[in-house]
Amino acid sequence: MIRKKLTPRQKMINLMYVVLMAMLAMNVSSDVLNGFQLVDEGLNRSKDNSNSQNEAIYQTLEAAMKQNPEKTREWYDRAKNVRSMSDSLYNFVEELKLKIVREADGEEADLNDIKSRDNLEASTHVMLAPGVGQGGQLKNSIDSFREKVVKMVNDSAQQKIINSNLSTEVPLKAKTLGKNWQEYMFENTPVVAAVTLLTKIQTDLRHAEGEILHQLVSNIDVKDIRVNQISAFVIPNAQTVVRGGKFTAQIVMAAVDTTQRPDIYVGNTLLKSSNGRYETVCGSTGDFTLKGYIQMRNGNGEMIRREFSQPYTVVEPSATVSASLMNMLYAGYKNPISVSVPGVPINKVNLSMTNGSLTKSGNGEYIAVPSKVGEDVTFTVTAENEGRQQEMGKFTFHVRKLPDPTGYIQYTDAKGNTTRFKGGRISKQAIMSAGGIGAAIDDGILDITFKVLGFQTYFVDNMGNVVPEASNSASFTPSQLAKIRSLNRGKLFNISSIRVIGPDGIERTLTSPVEVIIQ
């Protein structure tokens, strides 16, 4: 870069400006400098008073935190954050004051005894020197603090005061000269004036801190109970209680501070519960009423009292056990069972049985398999009530043998439907394709398949003689199939003496034959 050479006239103007500034510095009277010092002393006294007041509030918050941490913790933590931000900015300003005085008086400088009070270079260098000046950092720190603390204040008037006191706006006159805030404040400013300006910032800072602390303390007080807005309430877990169970109720005061417990009396007996929970075991059925009163002192120290009353009903234990598909149980068979208890969640209900095994198949659903015919099954229902198992009832079912099944020939018709033929007319082709017989209980409700162990077929020959043919399985024998194949339309034969065994393990011979007419 080529530096432009100054003309003699320009050099003269520059020299005159330097001489004028020197003359102005010399003309700053000692009275003016003393005035700045007096103002600084006054600001320091105001600042110290704010410090003392703020410290008293911090001590109040400390005591409240120890006495009632649940209620105070949120506002106490915010106060600690405010203190940290305020102290950080305050200490930074204090460091700047000391740097300016040392720049003027040397390393042994004393803030309380400034020698070079009229020095115009020290504050300019410390605050505005290119690359090292800290005026811009101070402005940014003040702006950041102001923006954060204003959000903590609800009152618009307080917000306005804080914004005004901690403002870094440049007056219009200074703007026309092209100066920023730090230049307006510290350019060619005597040391004593610069220190006074920084002390004012500290004073405004402590004042803003105090405004925030008062707001935080008032937030704690907002949660106090007001006597003219309180009522007693009883909140029961349930108004109907099973005998042997517990009646549980929450006794509270409307708008009550949960951290300040009132005295609760049930009847005339003080409830010894830290959370207002009342419990009593209900030993008899009927309608009952929980009565009593709550008393506590209000903010003025006056004792207040509110009555409460809550009806509830105690009923006998009740439960329902039903056989899902029948009115009795069958031995050896997987009988579906469902169970429920009114007012009790199904996952808290349990079932047990005698004379057999019980398997849970779903929520409130079981499979019961009785062991012995003629011996009753007793189901016992229990439910979890107030953390303990309570018996809700016993239920007895009779056990009987499965009824006899019906023999059939199963085939597929022309439409592809599976059909069980139990007697009458049937095509020879359907019999041949079936290849054997089956047996089942299929009355529209039950569908229980039995295993066929063997059967007899009875044919009539040309001489009118009845010819029996035996099978020791569920299938037709080759001889039986040959005889069926030889039958003409309209001819008949019987399937009888069908031997079966069911899921109960009982073997039986069916008495009802299957009469077949060739179609």
Q: Please, are residues 257 and 225 in contact by the beta-carbon 8 Å criterion?
A: yes
The answer to whether domain 227-315 and domain 320-400 are alike in fold is: yes
Cβ atoms of 48 and 175 closer than 8 Å: no
Q: Alpha-carbon distance 484 to 519, whole Å?
A: 12
* Distance set, CA 211 to CA 139, 154, 159, 458 (Å): 21, 11, 9, 112
Rg, the chain, Cα only: 51
The CATH class for the domain spanning 406-518 reads mainly beta
**Residue 31 CA, distance from chain mean position:** 70
What H or E segment, with its residue span, contains residue 18? Answer: helix 8-27
Closest residue by Cα to residue 378 from 345, 356, 361, 362: 356
Tens-place pLDDT, residues 134-159? 989 999 999 999 999 888 887 788 88
**Beta carbons within 10 angstroms of residue 317's beta carbon:** 20
64-112 tens-digit pLDDT: 888 778 878 888 898 899 999 999 999 999 999 899 989 888 888 888 8
Lowest mean pLDDT among 119-123, 169-173, 338-342, 493-497: 169-173
At 21, list the tokens: 């500034």
Q: Tell me, what's the pLDDT at 34?
A: 64
Return the pLDDT at 479.
Answer: 93
Are the C-beta atoms of 262 and 334 separated by less than 8 Å? no
Mean pLDDT of 44-66: 84
Give residues with Cβ within 8 angstroms of 100, minimum separation 6. Answer: 122, 123, 126, 127, 191, 194, 195, 198
Long-range contacts of 20-29 (CB under 8 A, 24+ apart): 21/120, 21/188, 25/118, 25/120, 28/118, 28/190
Q: Are 504 and 331 in contact (CB under 8 A)?
A: yes
Identify the helix (H) or strand (E) that includes residue 305. strand 303-315
Q: Looking at domain 320-400, which of 3.90.1170.20, 3.90.245.10, 3.40.50.150, 2.60.40.60 is its CATH number?
A: 2.60.40.60
Q: How far apart, in whole angstroms, are the C-alpha atoms of residue 129 and residue 133?
A: 4
Percent over 90 (pLDDT), the chain: 28
Amino acid at 38: L
> With the CA atoms of 305, 307, 308 and 309 taken in that order, what torsion angle do they form, in degrees rounded to the nearest 10?
160
Range 445-471 average pLDDT:
90
Assigned fold of 227-315: Immunoglobulin-like (2.60.40)
Q: Shortest CA distance to 166 belongs to which of 215, 202, 137?
A: 202
How is residue 169 written in tokens? 């706006």
Q: Return the bridge partners of 454, or none.
A: 499
Please give the DSSP secondary-structure letter assigned to residue 169.
P
Looking at residue 272, its pLDDT comes to 83
- Can you spell out the DSSP letters for 223-263? TS--GGG--EEEEES-SEEETTSEEEEEEEETT--TTSPPE
The DSSP bridge pattern shows strands 277-281 and 424-426 to be unpaired
Residue 459, CA atoms < 13 Å, CB-side half-sphere:
17
Q: For 280-331, how does the pLDDT look when each residue is reduced to its tens digit (9 = 90+)?
A: 888 777 778 889 998 887 655 567 888 888 877 776 666 666 665 556 899 8
* Domain locations in the chain as residue ranges: 14-222, 227-315, 320-400, 406-518
Q: Strands 303-315, 240-242: parallel, antiparallel or unpaired by DSSP?
A: parallel
